[in-house]
C-alpha cells in the first residue's frame, strides 16, 4: 500500500516530503488549513507555520470563533459535559445540530440520571427550536422522555431567547405574535429555569450566529442572579478545541492567525483559509485532515500539499499527498475529550504503521531550505 | 566540560557565603574548585553579583485558565514590555515560549504553576513543555472534588486519603498539593455565595477546616516535601484578615503554606471600611514557626486575574476591566478569568500595594516569606525587578507612597518601616528558601553537587535594572542568557513526586471513574509519551 503520491502518482515518502518542502519554500503566502490534527500535529503545524511564515486556520473555525467571539466580547459561564451529566437538574437545549455535534448527547445527557445529591432524579429538559426532522423521527424522540419542545423553526430562536431572557428578568416582551400559546409557554419556561438548582444550557455554534449565542450566554448569566446555571457549548469536530488550545499557548491567539509578519497577527477575516485561497492571496496550501478523509471545499487551483487519509478523494489530485493515520486509531495521541472537556491522551485502538501528522510535518521540515531557529 | 565563573561576589545563604570567589561547574553540576585544573571556559564576574538560579513557587504560567485568559484577551500583550527579539513565536505577547525567555532573563530557572485541576493536568504539562529554558512543576488542586469530600464525609481513615492524594500526585505528575477556597467551589455549585473556614458544603456537611486539616495531615504523612499549599477562603474582601488568622492558627504546629497572603491583609477600619491588617498578619506569621507564606504583591497596571477560586471570581466579575470574563463550573474545581486594572489613584488598590510591602518587610524571617505577585493576579511576573528594588530601598518606597492617595497610605504602617532587604535576604527569599520549601536539595544554592543553575548580575545602583536583565544565566552549566537576552533554545523538565501508596486505591478509582463518568481513569493520567519531549519529568524524592 502506498503512503505518498506526487501529482496522483505513487511516490516514496522522502520524495513526496522533499517536493512538499520545495512548494512551501517557494511560496510567498502559504496557508496551513484544515488542521484536523491531534495536539502533537497542531504543535508541529504551528511551529512549521512560524518557520515558513504561514497563516493557520482550522476547518471548523467558523463555529469555534463564534463561541470565542461571545467570550471575548461579553463573557461566558461554562461547564463541562461531565459536570452537566452529573449535576444538572434542568437542561435547556437551544437550536439544532446538538446530536450531530455530539452523538453521545442522548445517552450522556438526555437519558442520564443525575447522581449528585441535591439534583432531582428527574431531570427537566427543554429544547428550543430543535431540528424538525430530528423531532419527527419517532425512533429517536421516543427514546428520550419528557422533553418539552418550544419553537420549531431555527429562525425563531433569537427572538425566543430574547423574549425568554426578558421574562427571566421580569420584563415585558412584544413577541406574542409568534403564536397564541407562546407567552404562557414562555412564562412557564422562565419559571422553570429560575427554579433550577443547577441548570445547564446546551448549544452548538455550528448552526447559530454569534448574537444568538451571546443572548443565550446572557440568559445564563442573568439566571445566576438567584440560582445556578451554566453553559455547555458543544465543541466542533476534528479536535477543534485541542487545536485552539495549542494555537493559544503557542501564538497567544486562536486559529486564523498569520505568522508571516514578525508577530502573530490574528484576523478572523483576513486569515480565513477559504478566503485566502479564493482571493488568490495564498499561493500554496498545506491541508491537514487526520480524523477523516476530507478534502478542502474550495475550488482554487493553488498548489496543495495534503496530509490526509489514504482514501481521501480530491476533486483534483494535490501536488503532494502524504497519507496519515487517525489519532486514537492508528497511533497514540492527545486530543480534546468530548466528555471531560479537557485534553486527554488516547491510545491507538488498531495500531498501524500510518504516519501521524507530526511525523509527516517532521519529514517535510527536514527538507526545508532554511535551518530551524536555534533560539 | 569545566566552566569557571571568576571573581564575582557570591551570595549563597544556604551555604552561609557572601564573599568574592569563583564558581566551578562540570557536567551540569557545581563542583569544588579542582586543584590545578584549568577551565575550558571562563566567565569574568568581577564586580558582579552571583546567585543560584531563582525559584518561583507560585506563578500561573500554564493550563486551561491561563490559556483561556489569552483567548479572552486577544488585545492584551501581557508581559510584553521586555520581550525578546526575533525568536520563534516570541512576539505574541505571552505565549509559552516567551514566558521561559522572560523568566530566564531575570535569572529564574525553576517556576511552579500552582493551580492545576487534576483533569487538566495533561493540558498544563503540555503547555509547560513548550516553555523553554526553565524547569517547571505543578501543584495538583484537591479539596473541592467529590471523591475527597466523600472520604471525609464518610469519615474514612487517614490511609484512604493518603492513598488518594498519592494517586493524584502520581497520575498528574505534580510536585505538591494545593487547596483553593476549600469547599467553596463545591458549595457554589449548590448556590452558596459566601464560604468561610467553618462553613460546610451543604450536601456533604464537610467544612473548609476539615478539608484543610485532612489534606495537611495526608501531605505530611506521605512525606511530600512541600507542605499543603492553601489558598484561603474569602480572598480579597474587607475583613479577610480574620480568615487568614484562623487558617494560620489551624496549622497547629504542622507545616502549612498560605498563598498570596496580601489578598487577605484587609481589615474594615477607616472611612471606607477597608484598611491594612498586614501588621497583625505578620505578627501571627512570625509567631507560627510552622507556617510559610508568599506575598502576592500588587503592582499598578492592567492585568488579568486567573484563579480556580470560582466563587471569588464570580463575585468579582462585575469589576472586570475590560468588561468580560469567563467562569467555569468544572470537575472538582471551578475557574474564573477576570481582567482587572490596578490603579495607583485608586484607594483600594493603593492599600493592596502597601499591604504586600508591609508583609514583605514585617515578616522577619526571609526563610518563611516568599516572593510572588501570584502572577498574573497581583501583577505580571515581569514586575519582579521593580518589587525587588522597592524591598531594597526605603527611599524608593517613599517616592512611590508620595504618588498614592494619602488616605490609603494612612490606613497602613508602611511609612513607619525602614527595613531594607540585603542581597543575602533577597537570595534567601528567591533561592535558598524556595528550594527548601519544595524539597529541591540540589537547587537554590551554589554548593558542590548542586545543579549548575547560576545567575550573574551587574551590581547596579538601579536594582530594578539589575534584576531585569541578568548579565549571565547558566542552566545546568550551559550559558542560556547573556545581557538579559536568551542565547540558546533548550527545554527543561517538570519536577514531580510519586509518594508510595496502597494500590488498592487504583482499583477503587478505576471503578469510581467508570461508574461516575462512564470512562477510564486514564483520563487523568499524564504519560511521558504524551508530552512530546525527551525526559519530560524529574522525580523528586519524598521523605519516606
* pLDDT one-digit tens code per residue, B178-197: 999 999 999 999 999 999 99
Q: Which of B399, B270, B268, B407 is nearest to B350 (CA)?
A: B407
Tell me: the pLDDT tens digits for A127-165?
A: 999 987 766 665 555 556 678 998 888 888 999 999 999
B84, B64 Cβ separation under 8 angstroms: no
For chain B, list residues with pLDDT below 70. 77-93, 544
Contacts of B523 in chain A (CB under 8 A): 337, 340, 342, 344
B191 touches chain A (CB under 8 A): yes
Nearest residue of A to residue B85, measured between CA atoms: A262
Could you tell me if residue A133 is inside a domain? yes
Q: What is the DSSP letter of A66?
A: H
CB atoms within 10 A of CB B529: 12
Clarify whether residues A8 and A149 are in a common domain.
no
The 3-state DSSP class for residue B528 equals helix
Q: How far is A301 from chain B (nearest CA, A)?
A: 30
Q: How confident is the model at residue A118 (pLDDT cuts 50, 70, 90)?
A: very low
**Residue A208 is assigned to a structural domain of this protein:** yes
Do residue A332 and residue A349 come from a single domain?
yes
Query: What pLDDT was estimated at residue A140?
Result: 56
For the stretch B518-534, pLDDT in tens is: 999 999 999 999 999 99
Task: Provide, as residue numbers in chain B, all residues whose Cβ is less than 8 Å from the Cβ of A117.
Answer: 203-204
In a domain, A374, yes or no: no
Ramachandran region of residue A114, left (φ > 0), alpha (ψ -120 to 50) or beta?
A: beta
Backbone phi and psi for residue B354, each to the nearest 5 degrees, phi listed first: -65, -40
Contacts of B77 in chain A (CB under 8 A): 252
Contacts of B62 in chain A (CB under 8 A): 249
Beta carbons within 8 Å of A170's beta carbon, 6+ residues apart: none
To the nearest whole angstrom, how far is the Cα of B105 from the nearest Cα of chain A?
13
- Inspect the interface and report whether the beta carbons of A77 and B329 lie closer than 8 Å: yes
Measured between beta carbons, which residues in chain A are less than 8 angstroms from residue B190? 118, 197-198, 228
d(C-alpha A268, C-alpha A65), whole Å: 8
- Grid cell for residue B3: 566552566
Q: What is the pLDDT of residues A220-239, one digit of tens each?
A: 999 999 999 999 999 999 99
**Domain match, A251 and A202 both:** no
Cβ contact B513:B164 at 8 Å: no
Q: How confident is the model at residue A173 (pLDDT cuts 50, 70, 90)?
A: confident
Q: Are residues A92 and A79 in the same domain?
A: yes
- Residues B72, A374: C-beta atoms closer than 8 Å: no
Q: Which of A190, A207, A233 is the last residue of a domain?
A: A233
CATH code: domain of residue A107 = 3.40.228
Are A216 and A108 in contact by the 8 Å Cβ rule? The answer is no
How much is the mean pLDDT over chain A?
A: 91
Residue A370 lies in a domain: no
pLDDT reported for residue A120: 47
B470 backbone φψ class: left, alpha, beta (φ>0; ψ -120 to 50)? beta
Retrieve residue A144's grid coordinates.
428520550
Residue A311 lies in a domain: yes
- Among candidates A79, A115, A252 on the partner chain, residue whose Cβ is nearest the Cβ of B328: A79
What ranges in A264-350 are assigned the alpha helix state H? 273-278
Find the domain containing A164 and state its range.
65-233
- The Cα of A312 is separated from the nearest Cα of chain B by a number of Å equal to 27
Out of A83, A339, A373, the one facing B330 most closely (by C-beta) is A83
**What's the pLDDT score for residue B75?**
80
Statement to judge: residues A115 and A222 lie in one domain: yes
What pLDDT score does A100 carry?
87
- Which residues, including other chains, have CB under 8 Å from residue B406's CB and lie 6 or more apart? none
Closest CA to A98 of A89, A86, A106, A90: A106
**Digit-coded pLDDT (tens) for A19-66:** 999 999 999 999 999 999 999 999 999 999 999 999 999 999 999 999
Bridge pairing between strands A30-36 and A55-56: parallel
CA dist A124 and A108 (Å) reads 15
What's the confidence (pLDDT) of residue A115?
A: 55
Same-domain check for residues A95 and A10: no
Nearest to B67 among A248, A259, A373 (CB): A248
Residue with cell 535576604: B425
pLDDT of amino acid A141? 52
The answer to whether B521 and B507 have CB atoms below 8 angstroms apart is no
Chain A, residues 295-324, CB within 8 A of chain B, namely none
Q: Output the pLDDT for position B88.
A: 38
Q: Same domain, yes or no, for A167 and A273?
A: no
A253 and A171 in a single domain? The answer is no
| Same domain? A248 vs A311 | yes
A372 falls within a domain: no
In angstroms, the CA B294 to CA A62 distance is: 43
CATH number at residue A306: 3.40.50.740
The DSSP annotation for B26-90 comes to ETTEEEPPPTT---SEEEE-TTEEEEEPEEES----SSHHHHHHHHH-TT--TT-TT--SS-TTG
Residue A88 belongs to some domain of the structure? yes
Same domain, A75 and A211: yes
How many interface pairs between A and B have CB atoms less than 8 angstroms apart? 178
Among A207, A233, A259, where does a domain finish?
A: A233
Cβ separation of A342 and B64 shorter than 8 Å?
yes
B519 touches A: beta carbon within 8 Å: yes
Residue with the three cell numbers 452558596 = B192
| Angle B481-B486-B488 from CA coordinates, rounded to 5° | 95
Considering its fold, how many domains does chain A have in total?
2
Please identify, among A233, A249, A277, the residue that sits at the C-terminal boundary of a domain: A233
Q: Hey, are the CB atoms on B331 and A80 less than 8 Å from each other?
A: yes
Contacts of A230 in chain B (CB under 8 A): 327, 329
- Mean pLDDT in residue range A297-319: 93
Same structural domain for residues A83 and A214? yes
What's the pLDDT score for residue A127? 94
Shared-domain flag, residues A265 and A218: no
Q: Mean pLDDT throughout A293-304?
A: 90
In a domain, A315, yes or no: yes
Amino acid at each position: 500500500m502506498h503512503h505518498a503520491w506526487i501529482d496522483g502518482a505513487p511516490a516514496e515518502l522522502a520524495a513526496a516530503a522533499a517536493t512538499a518542502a520545495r512548494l512551501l519554500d517557494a511560496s510567498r503566502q502559504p496557508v496551513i488549513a484544515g488542521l484536523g490534527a491531534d495536539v502533537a500535529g497542531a504543535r508541529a503545524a504551528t511551529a512549521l507555520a512560524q518557520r515558513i511564515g504561514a497563516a493557520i486556520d482550522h476547518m471548523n473555525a467558523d463555529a469555534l470563533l463564534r463561541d470565542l467571539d461571545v467570550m471575548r466580547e461579553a463573557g461566558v459561564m461554562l461547564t463541562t459535559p461531565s459536570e452537566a451529566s452529573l449535576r444538572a437538574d434542568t437542561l435547556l437545549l437551544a437550536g439544532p445540530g446538538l446530536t450531530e455535534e455530539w452523538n453521545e448527547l442522548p445517552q450522556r445527557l438526555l437519558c442520564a440520571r443525575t447522581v449528585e445529591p441535591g439534583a432531582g432524579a428527574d431531570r427537566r429538559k427543554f429544547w428550543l427550536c430543535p431540528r424538525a426532522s430530528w423531532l419527527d423521527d419517532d425512533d429517536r424522540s421516543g427514546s428520550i422522555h419528557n422533553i418539552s419542545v418550544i419553537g420549531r423553526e431555527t429562525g425563531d430562536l433569537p427572538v425566543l431567547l430574547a423574549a425568554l431572557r426578558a421574562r427571566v428578568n421580569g420584563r415585558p416582551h412584544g413577541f406574542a405574535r409568534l403564536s397564541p400559546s407562546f407567552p404562557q409557554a414562555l412564562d412557564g419556561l422562565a419559571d422553570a429555569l429560575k427554579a433550577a438548582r443547577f441548570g445547564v444550557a446546551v448549544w452548538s455554534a455550528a448552526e447559530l450566529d454569534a448574537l444568538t449565542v451571546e443572548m443565550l450566554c446572557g440568559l445564563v448569566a442573568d439566571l445566576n442572579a438567584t440560582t445556578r446555571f451554566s453553559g455547555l457549548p458543544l465543541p466542533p469536530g476534528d479536535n477543534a478545541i485541542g487545536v485552539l488550545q495549542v494555537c493559544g499557548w503557542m501564538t497567544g491567539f486562536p486559529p486564523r492567525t498569520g505568522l508571516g509578519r514578525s508577530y502573530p497577527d490574528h484576523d478572523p477575516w483576513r486569515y480565513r483559509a477559504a478566503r485566502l485561497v479564493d482571493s488568490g492571496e495564498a499561493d500554496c496550501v498545506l491541508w491537514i485532515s487526520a480524523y477523516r478523509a476530507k478534502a478542502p471545499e474550495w475550488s482554487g487551483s493553488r498548489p496543495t500539499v495534503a496530509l490526509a487519509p489514504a482514501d481521501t478523494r480530491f476533486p483534483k489530485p494535490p501536488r503532494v499527498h502524504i497519507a496519515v493515520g487517525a489519532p486514537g486509531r492508528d497511533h497514540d495521541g492527545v486530543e480534546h475529550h468530548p466528555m471531560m472537556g479537557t485534553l486527554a491522551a488516547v491510545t491507538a485502538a488498531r495500531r498501524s504503521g500510518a504516519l501521524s501528522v507530526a511525523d509527516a510535518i517532521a519529514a517535510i521540515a527536514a527538507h526545508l531550505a532554511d535551518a530551524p531557529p536555534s533560539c | 566540560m569545566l566552566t569557571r565563573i571568576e571573581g564575582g561576589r557570591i551570595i549563597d545563604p544556604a551555604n552561609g557565603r557572601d564573599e568574592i570567589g569563583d564558581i566551578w561547574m562540570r557536567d551540569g553540576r557545581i563542583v569544588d574548585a579542582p586543584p590545578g585544573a584549568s577551565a575550558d571556559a571562563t566567565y569574568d564576574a568581577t564586580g558582579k553579583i552571583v546567585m543560584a538560579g531563582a525559584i518561583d513557587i507560585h506563578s500561573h504560567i500554564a493550563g486551561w485558565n491561563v490559556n483561556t485568559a489569552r483567548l479572552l484577551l486577544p488585545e492584551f500583550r501581557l508581559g510584553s514590555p521586555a520581550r525578546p527579539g526575533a525568536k520563534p513565536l516570541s512576539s505574541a505577547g505571552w505565549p509559552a515560549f516567551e514566558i521561559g525567555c522572560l523568566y530566564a532573563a531575570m535569572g529564574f530557572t525553576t517556576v511552579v504553576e500552582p493551580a492545576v485541576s487534576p483533569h487538566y493536568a495533561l493540558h498544563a504539562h503540555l503547555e509547560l513543555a513548550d516553555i523553554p529554558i526553565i524547569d517547571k512543576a505543578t501543584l495538583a488542586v484537591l479539596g473541592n472534588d467529590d471523591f475527597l469530600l466523600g472520604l471525609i464525609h464518610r469519615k474514612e481513615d487517614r490511609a484512604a486519603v493518603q492513598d488518594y492524594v498519592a494517586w493524584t500526585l502520581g497520575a498528574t505528575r505534580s510536585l505538591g498539593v494545593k487547596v483553593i477556597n476549600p469547599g467553596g467551589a463545591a458549595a457554589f455549585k449548590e448556590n452558596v455565595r459566601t464560604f468561610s473556614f467553618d462553613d460546610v458544603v451543604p450536601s456533604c456537611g464537610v467544612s473548609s477546616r476539615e478539608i484543610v486539616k485532612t489534606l495537611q495531615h495526608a501531605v505530611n504523612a506521605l512525606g511530600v516535601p512541600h507542605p499543603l499549599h492553601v489558598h484561603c477562603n474569602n480572598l480579597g474582601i474587607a475583613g479577610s484578615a480574620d480568615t487568614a488568622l484562623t487558617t494560620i492558627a489551624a496549622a497547629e504546629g504542622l507545616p502549612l503554606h498560605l498563598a498570596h497572603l496580601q489578598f487577605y491583609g484587609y481589615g474594615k477600619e477607616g472611612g471606607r471600611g477597608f484598611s491594612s491588617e498586614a501588621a497583625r498578619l505578620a505578627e501571627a506569621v512570625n509567631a507560627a514557626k510552622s507556617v510559610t507564606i508568599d506575598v502576592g504583591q500588587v503592582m499598578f497596571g492592567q492585568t488579568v486575574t486567573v484563579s480556580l477560586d470560582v466563587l471569588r471570581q464570580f463575585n468579582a466579575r462585575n469589576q472586570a476591566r475590560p468588561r468580560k470574563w469567563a467562569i467555569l463550573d468544572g470537575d472538582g474545581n471551578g475557574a474564573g478569568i477576570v481582567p482587572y486594572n490596578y490603579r495607583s489613584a485608586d484607594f483600594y488598590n493603593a492599600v493592596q500595594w502597601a499591604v504586600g510591602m508591609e508583609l514583605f518587610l514585617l515578616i522577619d524571617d526571609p526563610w518563611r516569606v516568599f516572593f510572588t505577585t501570584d502572577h498574573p493576579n497581583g501583577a505580571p511576573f515581569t514586575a519582579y525587578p521593580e518589587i525587588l528594588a522597592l524591598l531594597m530601598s526605603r527611599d524608593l518606597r517613599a517616592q512611590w507612597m508620595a504618588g498614592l492617595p494619602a488616605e490609603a497610605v494612612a490606613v497602613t504602617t508602611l511609612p513607619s518601616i525602614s527595613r531594607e532587604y540585603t542581597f543575602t535576604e533577597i537570595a534567601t527569599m528567591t533561592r535558598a528558601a524556595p528550594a527548601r520549601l519544595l524539597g529541591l536539595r540540589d537547587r537554590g544554592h551554589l554548593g558542590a553537587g548542586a545543579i549548575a543553575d547560576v545567575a550573574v548580575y551587574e551590581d547596579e545602583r538601579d536594582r530594578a535594572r539589575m534584576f531585569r536583565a541578568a548579565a549571565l544565566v547558566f542552566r545546568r552549566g550551559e550559558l542560556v542568557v547573556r545581557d538579559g537576552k536568551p542565547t540558546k533554545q533548550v527545554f527543561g523538565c517538570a519536577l514531580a513526586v510519586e509518594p508510595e501508596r496502597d494500590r488498592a486505591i487504583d482499583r477503587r478509582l478505576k471503578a469510581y471513574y467508570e461508574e461516575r463518568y462512564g470512562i477510564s481513569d486514564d483520563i487523568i493520567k499524564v504519560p511521558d509519551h504524551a508530552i512530546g519531549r525527551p525526559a519530560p519529568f524529574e522525580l523528586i524524592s519524598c521523605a519516606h
